Structure 1
Amino acid sequence: MGTELNIKVKSNLVNKYRGGYPLITKQAINDVGSLEEGVLINLIDEHNAFIGKGYYGKQNKGFGWVLTRNKDEKIDQSFFERKLKAALDKRRSFFQDKETNAFRVFNGEGDGIGGFTIDYFDGYYLINWYSEGIFTYFDHVLTSLKNLVQYKAIYQKKRFRADGKFIEEDGFVDGERGEFPILVKENGVNFAVYFNEEAMVGVFLDQRDVRRTIRDKYAKGKTVLNTFSYTGAFSVFAALGGASKTTSVDLANRSLPKTIEQFSVNGIDYESHDIIVEDVFHYFKYAGKKGLKFDMIILDPPSFARSKKFTFSAEKDYKNLLKEAIAITEKNGVIVASTNSASFDMKKFKGFIDTAFKESNSKYKIEEEFSLPRDFQTIREFKEGNYLKVVFIKKLNG
């Protein structure tokens, strides 16, 4: 990887990159031809002046990431180790927390190297790789991590496609193989997690503050509908916060046993809650016909989803999803509207909320809002990196 290739940035985007923008986008550079994944590239302007150095790695976001604006800085193992050490140092307080032992320790471009993340689960480290390009630096990342931390085991997930398919494998890298599920804690609540199954592990760590808020401030005595519920994490927190009943709805067959498991590892009788495998949009229609209403509805859809009859895109369809929820929310009930779509900002998201309530002839009040927790480090030069938007909305009388 000693060779560095010069790539010219289109003139209208030069200032953006000089200002610190880290993602090498398809719009920024001319035809890259057949570059080798992981090759180091120097971004230059029309006068061949150096802008930044990064690597080529195709992923859904673009063609790679800028790593340094210092032409002479070497992208070697010590570079990776410095970045990892700085990230770990910032999160020292998380390692001291007796109530939470699952969090992010390296957040891609937010910690200086786009394309991979590292999560910590009670002594286990999980690396997520998002392109073949960054994966070529596997040895640098692994050596750095081994030099910096004590661990039970290191696992990895390759989240990039090879020949159109995600690479599925056991994921074990080093240490002692885990006995799955591994039980971790978040704000005193147990989660069963798996590193040896599919792309996800069983819990999305970026919703930690939202789950705690639901438990501590909103759930007591309430009926709660958790849509796109995955493994039921929001339902578990609601139940532990004293919800009178939770209803979890997700289309995936695996959501039923996974949700039962998350209830069970917290000593909750899952049979006193409803866990439904069904298309969320079908369920809204069913609830409307039956006259069902809920005190709290949690909306946390994927940015894009497809079922047999519906295609959902957060940017196009979130407003209508909100309208479905408003129709079955009790007066003075709360809708927790969440999206992880990076294609629009909080201002636009609040616009969807406002339009949905107006079209539903309902009034509302925003109670509070959340973005990423602080272990999910972001940088102001890359606003898309702060993708999470969560708004607690009260449906008012009248």
Structure 2
Amino acid sequence: MIDVILKKGKEKAVMQRHPWLFSGAIDKVKGKPANGDVVRLLSTEGKFMAYGFYNAQSRVALRLLEWNEDIAIDGDWFRKKVAVAVSSRSELLADGSTNTCRLIFSEADYLPGLIVDKYADYLSLQILTSGIENNKAVIIDELQKLMQPKGIFDKSDASSREHEGLGASDGGVLAGSHPPEIVEVKENNVVYGINIAEGQKSGFYCDQRDNRHLVAAHTKDKKVLDCFCYTGGFTLNSLKNGAASVTSVDSSALAIDTLKQNIALNGLDAAKHTAIQSDVNKQLRKFKEEGETFDLIVLDPPKYAPSRSALVRASRAYKDLNRIAMLLLNKGGLLATYSCSGAMDIDNFKQVLAWAALDAGKEVQFITQFCQPEDHPVRASFPEGEYLKGLLCRVL
């Protein structure tokens, strides 16, 4: 095994079991490991510190896996990590009200660059690091043994793979059969038809499961606006909980079509629903010009800040989006607003909302704080895994 020598003074993060080691912390590499090889990290004095995936092309040169020198990083090691991750989600799936969740969440489950989502009888898999790519066969085999899915489908993100020096994945079926055009899943007894092959990201955003349920509790007899609605998570829960009406806005024609089908799947009243395919920011301004108002607005935008360098620009975008929404709320109305940008922490997000309220001439109370659910755990040594945050605000 090739040794990688750490620069003096860079031991702290490694000893605290943070899984990332940037290239600038490396003193030298004794040999020429291939991208994705497991290497041994040593201190300047030659003391063992950890094993990790090496990648010369990534800014994260080492993704640390194991801090016990006596434990081999072999096929059994990967099988055990997969099994522990899957087992930890068993209670979530036990009562049958939910048959979709995230089974493996990358660094949080000690498998950096591996994301696996369960959609009823199918699994959607993303391989985003060279180390996981090298061990793909054993991981897929273990998933088949544990879950016995009808099929495992590749949804690896091309841009993330590019950072690792990986080419675009071939996509398609990795094991079993190709999923049908629409796979029906259940989340809190709400039914969703999802398109695994062509849908966004891994196929469905299961990270808002708890938050959809929490927001829906406030929607009875309310006029609701669901922005960036995708296939209708907040919309369906609101209608099921007795909302007077729901307007859903998304730029994707496929998402809007799927949302309409989901309303029918759940036997909900389509007469209470309006779907608009449009850019959300433009549509919010149009509502303002038309004098339209709502009792509850949901803002669940895409990632505005993919990195800390984009945080200033993203803060302006979040502020403007929330300012317009505040202006569309009836007095005392509720705003459920989210950020899935890891670089935007909850304190910064609260500050952005305070600025938005000031510009809108509104007073805002923070009522509830939202986070990601239990199948998206945050590892204590890797706080960067906490990416989803949100607030339920009363706008006065």
2:63 is the counterpart of 1:65 = yes
Q: Deviations over 1:264-288 (max 9, x none)?
A: 2222344542211222111121111
Q: Is the 8 A contact 1:334 1:392 kept in 2?
A: yes
- Do the aligned partners of residues 225 and 254 (structure 1) sit closer, same or farther apart at CA in structure 2, a change above 3 Å counting? same
With over 3 angstroms needed to count, the CA separation of the structure-2 counterparts of 1:210 and 1:313, relative to structure 1, is: farther
The 1:372/1:387 distance shift into structure 2, 3 A limit, reads same
Structure 2, unaligned stretches of length 5 or more?
Answer: none
1:272 to 1:93, Cα distance in 2 relative to 1, 3 A: same
2:380 is aligned to 380
Give the partner amino acid of 1:134. I
- Count of residue pairs the alignment pairs up: 388
Q: How far 1:31 moved relative to its partner?
A: 8.7
The alignment yields a C-alpha RMSD, in angstroms, of 2.8
Change (3 A) 1:53 1:356: same
How much has 1:116 moved relative to structure 2?
0.5
Question: Following superposition of structure 1 onto structure 2, how do residues 194-343 of structure 1 map, counting pairs within 5 Å?
Answer: 194-197=195-198, 199-215=200-216, 217-270=217-270, 272-304=272-304, 314-343=314-343
User: Identity over the aligned pairs, expressed in percent?
Assistant: 27
Per-residue deviation at 1:166?
7.9
Q: Does 2:380 match 1:357?
A: no
Equivalent residue in structure 2 for 1:7, among 4, 8, 19: 4
- Cα 1:57–1:248, aligned 2, differ >3 Å: closer, same or farther? farther
- Does residue 95 of structure 1 match 2:93? yes
Tell me the TM-score normalized by structure 2: 0.89
* Conservation of the 8 A alpha-carbon contact between 1:64 and 1:133: no
CA drift of 1:201 comes to 4.7
Match of 2:156 among 155, 158, 166: 158
- Residue 108 of structure 1 aligns with an amino acid whose one-letter code is S
Structure 2 CA distance for aligned equivalents of residues 163 and 383 of structure 1: 24
Question: 2:158 touches 2:169 (CA, 8 Å); kept in 1?
Answer: no
* Residue of structure 1 in register with 2:14 after alignment: 17
TM-score (norm 1): 0.88
Q: 1:199 to 1:287 in 2, by over 3 A?
A: closer
- Following superposition of structure 1 onto structure 2, how do residues 175-194 of structure 1 map, counting pairs within 5 Å? 175-194=176-195
User: Residue 42 and residue 182 in structure 1: after superposition, are their counterparts in 2 closer, same or farther (change >3 A)?
Assistant: same
Q: Deviation of residue 26 (structure 1)?
A: 4.6
Answer yes or no: is the 8 Å Cα contact 2:244–2:272 preserved in 1: no
Q: 2:267, 2:312 → 1: CA distance?
A: 35
Letter in 1 for 2:51: K
Task: Determine the C-alpha separation between the residues in 1 that align with 2:129 and 2:313.
Answer: 24
Post-superposition shift, 1:296? Answer: 1.0
The Cα shift of 1:21 comes to 0.4
Secondary structure of the corresponding residue to residue 365 of structure 1: strand
The superposition leaves residues 301-326 of structure 1 with CA deviations (integer Å, 9 ceiling, x where unpaired) of: 111399xxxx9953442122211111
CA contact (8 A) 1:14 1:45 kept: yes
Moved more, 26-35 or 96-105: 26-35
Instruction: Name the counterpart of 1:124.
Output: 122
- The answer to whether the 8 Å contact 2:117/2:124 transfers is yes
Q: Which residue of 1 aligns with 2:136?
A: 138
Q: Compared with structure 1, are the counterparts of its residues 208 and 243 closer, same or farther at alpha carbon in structure 2 (3 Å cutoff)?
A: same
SS at match of 1:119: strand
Distance 2:74 2:245 in 1: 54
Q: Which residue of structure 2 lines up, in the alignment, with residue 56 of structure 1?
A: 54
Deviations 1:331-376 (A, max 9, x none): 1111111111111321221121222223323212111112111111
Q: CA deviation at 1:97?
A: 2.0
Please say if residues 4 and 28 of structure 2, whose CA atoms lie closer than 8 Å, have aligned partners that are also in contact.
Answer: no
CA–CA distance in 2 between the matches of 1:60 and 1:322? 35
2:104 to 98, 103, 106: 106
Q: 2 CA distance for matches of 1:365 and 1:118? A: 37
**3-state SS in 2 of match to 1:254:** helix
Counterparts of 2:384 and 2:313 in 1: how far apart (Å)? 17
CA contact (8 A) 2:125 2:202 kept: no
Distance in 1 (CA, whole Å) between partners of 2:28 and 2:78 is: 29
d(CA) in 2 for partners of 1:250, 1:391: 21
Q: Which amino acid aligns with 1:212?
A: H
Contact 1:249–1:278 (CA<8 Å) still a contact in 2? yes
- Measured at CA, do residues 140 and 202 of structure 1 come closer, stay the same or move farther in structure 2, by a change above 3 Å? closer
The answer for unaligned runs of 5 or more in structure 1 is none
Distance change >3 Å, CA 330–CA 86, structure 1 → 2: same
Q: Give the distance between the partners of 1:100 and 1:20, measured in 2 at CA.
A: 33
| Residue 289 of structure 1: how far off its partner (Å) | 1.0
Aligned-partner Cα distance in 2 for 1:210–1:53: 37
| Residues 178-215 of structure 1: per-residue CA shift (max 9 Å, x gap) | 32311010001001122222553542001000111122
The whole-number CA distance in structure 2 between the counterparts of 1:343 and 1:9 is 27
CA offsets per residue over residues 223-263 of structure 1, 9 Å max, x none?
11111222222111111121111112222333322222222
